[in-house]
Amino acid sequence: MSDKRNRTSAELNIKKKKRRPTSKRRRSLLYKDIKGPVKNKNRKKRKVAATRRTSPLTGASKLIKALLNGKSSRKLIIGAGVLLAVAIVGILLLVFNNISSSRSGLSAEIEAISEAEQKLTEEQLEMEADKRLREQRAAEARARLDEKKVMEDAWESMWISEVELPSENTSDFAVLESCLVSEEDSSKVVVTGTIPGIPNADNKDLYLFALNTFDTGIAEGSSPVASYRIDRTSEKYKLTTNLNFKSASSLLYKKFVVAVKKNDQYVMITKTGYITNPEQKAAYNSYKVPASKKGVIVDASRLNNGEIDDLGIKQGAYNIWVGRLLNTSSGAISYDYNGKTYYFNKSDVGSYDIIFGTLSAKGIQCTAVVLNDPNGAHPEMIHPNARGGSCPYYMFNGATQDGVETLAAVASFLADRYSGNHGTVSNWIFANEINARKEWNYYENTDVNSYAAAYAQAFRVFYTGIKSTNGSAKVYMPLDQTWNRNIDGKSGDYDARDVLDAFNSIIKEKGNIDWDLAYHPYAVPLTKVDFWNGYKNLVVNSTDTPMVSMKNINIVTSYLCNDTFKKRDGSTRQVLLSEQGYTSTKGEALQAAAIAYSYKIAAANPNVNGFILNRQIDAPAEVAQGLALGLLNSGGGHKQSYDVYKYIDTSEANAHADFAKSIIGISDW
């Protein structure tokens, strides 16, 4: 059945009476049917407005209620269905919108939360980074404080503190380590040392004084030659002053001491020290290296007769007598030194010119033995404690101003003259056998240390004069064969070892210098020739041997190898065997054998740098004592020893010396 036929009469009546309403009106009517008739227009309007405000769900619920009450019709059912569908759609849209809104809100909230969390994370990271930075800076600050404390402690520990000077022996307070002519500027003297603290004095200055060799302290009214403000950060000090070389105010021969001012008085705080490198000022550096160790004490009268050449001598020694050398102004050679003029005997100087000039021209190394024979016109050359004795030679004077000045001038003159201009003297021996006080180096009888101190004082003056002129020359102190007999001055003489020990100690204390040793290893007794057999246990192979001969010369050279005797550069001091000989009174063959064996021993010892035989020709005065020591007899005839010595340093040595093996009792040299 069609929809039109199924419509009720009521519906048809409605259609006849009214025109079909618009869709909007239909909805109004629909609601009108559900609610009932509208009493008036305003109520109708309010109802429509209310209906508009009513949700689809509300309308649907009312429609369902009407259907349940039996008021439904097909049209109403269709409307209700449409309305229900609309309501459902609305509900779904509402739910969707709510969900969308919720989801949008939730997304916004999530996004806001994420942003907040991100911001919070960033803030936390910033806070953590800031915290770490603060902690790092705090750690760095603490480290800097710790470092500063360490540095302050180290700095404080570096500072030398103020200390009290000892009430006694103030010269032991600080150490004077060196007094040197500056290598950078030879017009300056540089004194260095160490100090244990800042002395409690009037100020923090150190003062350098230049004393005379004989001064025992700082004289009242003396002025320092330099000063130095103590550096708190260092225990070392350095004072520099002008040397004033070769002037009246020269400091070359002075001894230096460091002082402080205490209660307005100068107080010495170091021991004294001398310049130890005078060679820094030398105008010459002349030294003849000998071709061999073979030498002889030269007889000036036989210098040009061909014997020296025939013997093949490589080293020659000759004496210089200072007493004869010094002279007055009349007919003398003048020499200006340190603001004064000195005069030297022209005749004697001329003789030395010939001797050293001739030897040098022959290629022979020259050794000069400087002896202090008395000269009434120059008493200042003899030590005050040696005047009045009776001896060929006397202790040189380093104990008074005039003595030091004259001795310095003599040394400078000799080195200046014999460093090439009139021959070259390479070796200077200062005095003769100084341990034999009564016989060869007179001085009042005293203990060995006082005696050695007097000699060392003069030796340093002479050494400085020689080395400041010829820097390569060698200067020797001489001793004889009496090594260790425990004389101790009882006989008026001294043991060589005791003098050597005392001399070395004194020199080192005041500033070590490069002295060497001249030794005389004669046989014991002097008339004995077969030295290899020894004599009454006096010559033994021991450091404590009473005597030393060529049999045990190694005792002396080995003794000097001890560290206490080393030179400034650590090298070993050399030994020049500057005088030894054997008599021919017991047979020329025995003399020749002794000379050959002695030379072989010397040649094999690396610390022996020369063997100078005494003598070229017999001296009648010595022969009278049983000492015919020459290679020639007094008439000029050759002894057997002449040829032995002539060939001893050549390839023909054994051919001329092997005969001696059976005499000595050896099978090989």
Q: Where are the domains of the chain?
A: 55-158, 163-275, 279-664
- Respond yes or no on whether the N-terminal peptide bond of residue 525 is cis (omega within 30° of 0): yes
CATH architecture label of 163-275: Sandwich (2.60)
Share above pLDDT 70 across residues of the chain, in percent, rounded to a whole number = 82
97 pLDDT band, cuts 50/70/90, is low
Amino acid at 108: A
Angstrom distance (rounded) from CA 31 to CA 350? 168
Per-residue pLDDT at 9 exceeds 50: no
Query: In the prediction, which pLDDT does 135 show?
Result: 86
Order of strands across the sheet that contains 175-181: 175-181, 188-194, 236-242
- Pairing status of strand 236-242 against strand 188-194: antiparallel
Residue 514 above 80 pLDDT?
Answer: yes
Who wins on pLDDT, 483 or 198?
Answer: 483
Q: Is the pLDDT of residue 46 over 60?
A: no
- Model confidence at 5, pLDDT cuts 50, 70, 90, reads very low
Is residue 522 pLDDT above 80, yes or no?
A: yes
Give residue 1's pLDDT band: very low, low, confident or very high (50, 70, 90): very low
What per-residue confidence (pLDDT) applies to 7?
47
Predicted structure pTM score:
0.77
Percent share of the chain, pLDDT over 90: 71
Task: Look at residue 42 and tell me whether its pLDDT is greater than 70.
Answer: no
Between the alpha carbon of residue 117 and those of residues 110, 132, 333, the distances in Å are 10, 21, 113
> What value, to the nearest 5°, has the Cα angle with vertex 174 and ends 173 and 180?
150
Give the pLDDT band of residue 31 (cuts 50, 70, 90): very low
Q: Is a pLDDT exceeding 80 seen at residue 66? A: no
Check residue 39 and give its pLDDT: 47
Place of tokens 């002889």: 296
Instruction: Give residue 63's pLDDT.
Output: 53
The token pair at 256 is 């230096």
In which band, very low, low, confident or very high, does the pLDDT at 156 lie, cut at 50, 70 and 90?
Answer: low
- Pick the more confident residue, 464 or 155: 464
Residue 414 pLDDT > 60: yes
User: Mean pLDDT in the chain?
Assistant: 88
Identify the top-confidence range among 8-22, 129-143, 414-428.
Answer: 414-428
In sequence order, the 6+-apart residues with CB closer than 8 A to the CB of 47 are 31, 32, 35, 38
CB 222 within 8 A of CB 272: no
pLDDT band per the 50, 70, 90 thresholds, residue 140: confident
Mapped onto helix, strand or coil, the DSSP state of residue 410 is: helix
For 470, the token pair is 């010829």
Mean pLDDT of 425-443: 97
Helices vs. strands in the chain: H and E counts, helices first:
19, 21
What does the pLDDT read at residue 167?
85
pLDDT band at residue 389 using 50, 70 and 90 as cut-offs: confident
Residue of higher predicted confidence among 32 and 635 = 635
Query: Is the predicted pLDDT of residue 280 greater than 50, yes or no?
Result: yes
User: Could you tell me the pLDDT band of residue 337, with boundaries at 50, 70 and 90?
Assistant: very high
Number of residues assigned to the chain: 669
- Give pLDDT tens digits for 438-475: 999 999 999 999 999 999 999 999 999 999 999 999 99
CATH number of 279-664: 3.20.20.80
Query: Is the confidence at residue 51, as pLDDT, over 90?
Result: no
Which residues touch 491 (CB under 8 Å, ≥6 apart)?
Answer: none
More confidently predicted of 209 and 230 = 209
Dump pLDDT digits (tens) for 236-270.
999 999 999 999 999 999 999 999 999 999 999 99
Q: What is the rounded CA–CA span in Å between residue 86 and residue 60?
A: 9
Q: Which segment of 401-415, 483-497, 558-572 scores lowest on mean pLDDT?
A: 483-497
467 or 126, greater pLDDT: 467
- Asked whether residue 652 carries a pLDDT value surpassing 60, the answer given is yes
pLDDT tens for each residue of 231-241: 877 889 999 99
| pLDDT at 41 exceeding the cut of 70 | no
Cα–Cα distance, 10 to 317 (Å, whole number) = 177
Q: Which helix (H) or strand (E) holds 80?
A: helix 74-158
